Amino acid sequence: MSEQNLTPPTDSGRGITLIEDVVVSKIAGLAAREVSGVHALGGSGARMGSGFREAIAQQGVHVEVGERQAAVDVAIVAEYGVAIHDLAEAIRSNIITAVERMTGLQVTEVNVTVHDVHLDLGPDEEPDVR
User: For position 47, what pLDDT does the model report?
Assistant: 46
Taking the C-alpha atoms of residue 102 and residue 105, their distance in angstroms, rounded to an integer, is 8
User: For position 1, what pLDDT does the model report?
Assistant: 42
Domains with residue ranges and CATH for the chain: 18-118 (3.30.70.1350)
Q: Are 40 and 118 in contact (CB under 8 A)?
A: yes
Return per-residue pLDDT of the chain as tens, 130 residues. 444 566 666 666 788 888 999 999 999 999 999 999 999 999 765 544 444 555 566 789 999 999 899 999 999 999 999 999 999 999 999 999 999 999 999 999 999 999 999 998 766 666 655 5
- The enclosing H or E element of 69 equals strand 69-79
Alpha helices in 7-121, H assignment, sequence order = 21-33, 53-58, 84-103
Taking the C-alpha atoms of residue 127 and residue 27, their distance in angstroms, rounded to an integer, is 35
Within 10 Å of residue 109's Cβ, how many Cβ atoms?
12
User: For position 59, what pLDDT does the model report?
Assistant: 86
Q: What are phi and psi of 85, to 5 degrees?
A: -65, -40
User: For position 2, what pLDDT does the model report?
Assistant: 42
